[in-house]
Amino acid sequence: MISENLAIWALSSIEGIGLVRIRLLIERFGNASAVFEQPAESLMEIDSISERAARYILKPVDWNLVEKKFIDSFPAGANFISLTDSDYPDKLRNTPDPPPYFYYSGNLNVLSCPSLAVVGSRKPGDYGRRITRSIINELAASGITIVSGLAYGIDSIAHEAALKAGGKTVAVFGNSLDIIYPAGNRKLADQIKDRGCLISEFPKGTKPAPFNFPVRNRIISGLCEGVLVIEAQERSGALITANHALEQGRDVLAVPGNIDNRLSDGPNKLLRQGAIPVSSARDIFDNFRWHKPSGEKKTLYKRPNLSGEEKIIYENLSVEPIHLDELMRKVGFGPGKTAEVLLNLELKGFILRKPGNYLVLA
């Protein structure tokens, strides 16, 4: 009998079989290796298996040659897991179209923890960057595995924030594991592999073609309890991931954004369609009924000790940038007094100045 991994890889390589038929065959006969031992009549008892498909499955092959091709499909240092393996992630297995197999590097066990997919713009604004770091830091520090796609922007920020918090993170590739894309994230990919896992359903040598990424997005959402969208245009890969999540019965969450910003179009559209609004990590904990581990050291917010004028300006700032002119109108201070108070707050580390005379809380 051929090995199960070889059998499912060979079955997936047969032209015209497809994911749906593979799953039906496995459900009927128990595993992939048993499929190749069935007579054509038994295969054809499955509605979607025609006589032609049965002939393709049972066509005599040189299994030594097939095995060589199978081994050659492995990226260097990668592992292989199939749908019939007990270690295959349960959340992904229970989606409508799970990959029959995938390659991975790192620790697959991090997916046994509660997990959240985080996706968004490849060119986020300051708001998206800070919100992502803030939310992911708290989630990852509490044991939530963060799953994303290694792209520049929100993906990378989410991975980095999880690692910085000492947490676990998983990157799902739209190409094979032997090709790091984008190339500038090679160091980040190595860090993820050391503290989490890299995953791809594509064999060695598969380049990052545009049509691969919408396909891989179903894996990102399928590995998680839900998908969080932070800054994305109305037509983007992030919303494709959100649509996959809905098809898989997952929760879709979104961070509201400024209506004047095109990067808010995607999250705001999802919110109008019923997505769960998120303004802090607490909203996510509450939605999934996740709890922080008992005995965890909590970082308590200490309100800064400020003078009366400093307090007025401080309370009119937030993580959303505000222009200096608008701030002066809100607080009613003249230019000289405003500049003096802002300088004091900046020296104390409570605020940050941004290009264009914008200000935010540090």
> Is the model's pLDDT at 303 over the cut of 90?
no
Q: Do domains 1-71 and 108-288 have the same CATH topology?
A: no
Give tens-digit pLDDT for 250-292. Answer: 999 999 988 888 999 999 999 999 999 999 999 999 999 897 7
Are 97 and 134 in contact, with CB atoms under 8 Å apart? no
Closest CA to 27 of 51, 55, 48, 58: 48
Question: What local confidence, expressed as pLDDT, does residue 299 receive?
Answer: 42
Percent of the chain past pLDDT 70, that is, above it, reads 95
Alpha carbons 25 and 38: distance in angstroms, whole number: 11
pLDDT at 291: 79
CATH class of 308-361: mainly alpha
CA angle (217, 228, 321) in 5-degree steps: 125
Per-residue DSSP letter, 144: P
Query: Is pLDDT at 327 greater than 70 in this prediction?
Result: yes
| Mean pLDDT over each residue of the chain, to the nearest integer | 90
Phi then psi for 56, rounded to 5 degrees?
A: -60, -40
**CATH (residue range 108-288):** 3.40.50.450
Contacts 24+ apart (CB under 8 A), 157-164: 157/124, 157/129, 157/132, 157/133, 158/118, 158/132, 159/188, 159/192, 160/188, 161/132, 161/133, 161/136, 161/137, 162/136, 162/196, 163/191, 163/192, 163/195, 164/137
Strand partners, 147: 117, 170
Q: State the CB neighbour count (10 A cutoff) for residue 24.
A: 15
Over residues 227-247, the pLDDT tens digits come to: 999 999 988 899 999 999 999
CA-wise closest residue to 145 among 83, 195, 81: 195
What's the whole-number mean pLDDT along residues 149-172? 97
Do the Cβ atoms of 193 and 220 come closer than 8 Å?
A: no
Handedness of CA 265, 121, 207, 67 (dihedral sign): negative
pLDDT tier for residue 344 given thresholds of 50, 70 and 90: confident
Whether the pLDDT of residue 301 is over 50: the answer is: no
Say which CATH architecture domain 1-71 belongs to: Orthogonal Bundle (1.10)
Query: What pLDDT shows up at residue 294?
Result: 55
Q: What was the pLDDT predicted at 126? A: 92
For residue 341, the SS3 value is helix
Q: Which pLDDT score is estimated for 298?
A: 43
**pLDDT average, residue stretch 354-361:** 76
Backbone φ/ψ region at 100: left (φ over 0), alpha (ψ -120 to 50), beta? alpha
The number of C-alpha atoms within 13 Å of 53 and in the hemisphere containing its C-beta is: 19
CB 335 within 8 A of CB 328: yes
Least confident of 114-123, 246-255, 298-307, 331-340: 298-307
| Three-state secondary structure readout of 237-278 | HHHHHHHHHHHCCCEEEECCCCCCCHHHHHHHHHHHCCCEEC
Q: Which two tokens stand for residue 77?
A: 């240092």
**Which two three-digit tokens encode residue 82?**
């199939």
Respond yes or no on whether the N-terminal peptide bond of residue 182 is cis (omega within 30° of 0).
yes
Range with the largest mean pLDDT of 25-29, 129-133, 347-351: 129-133
pLDDT at position 316, please? 85
User: pLDDT tens, 108-135?
Assistant: 999 999 999 999 999 999 999 999 999 9
Instruction: List b or e across 150-183, with b for residues whose CB sees 16 or more CB atoms inside 10 angstroms.
Output: bbebbbbbbbbbbbebebbbbbbbbbbbbbbbee
Domain borders along the chain are 1-71, 108-288, 308-361
As a whole number of Å, the end-to-end CA separation of the chain is 63
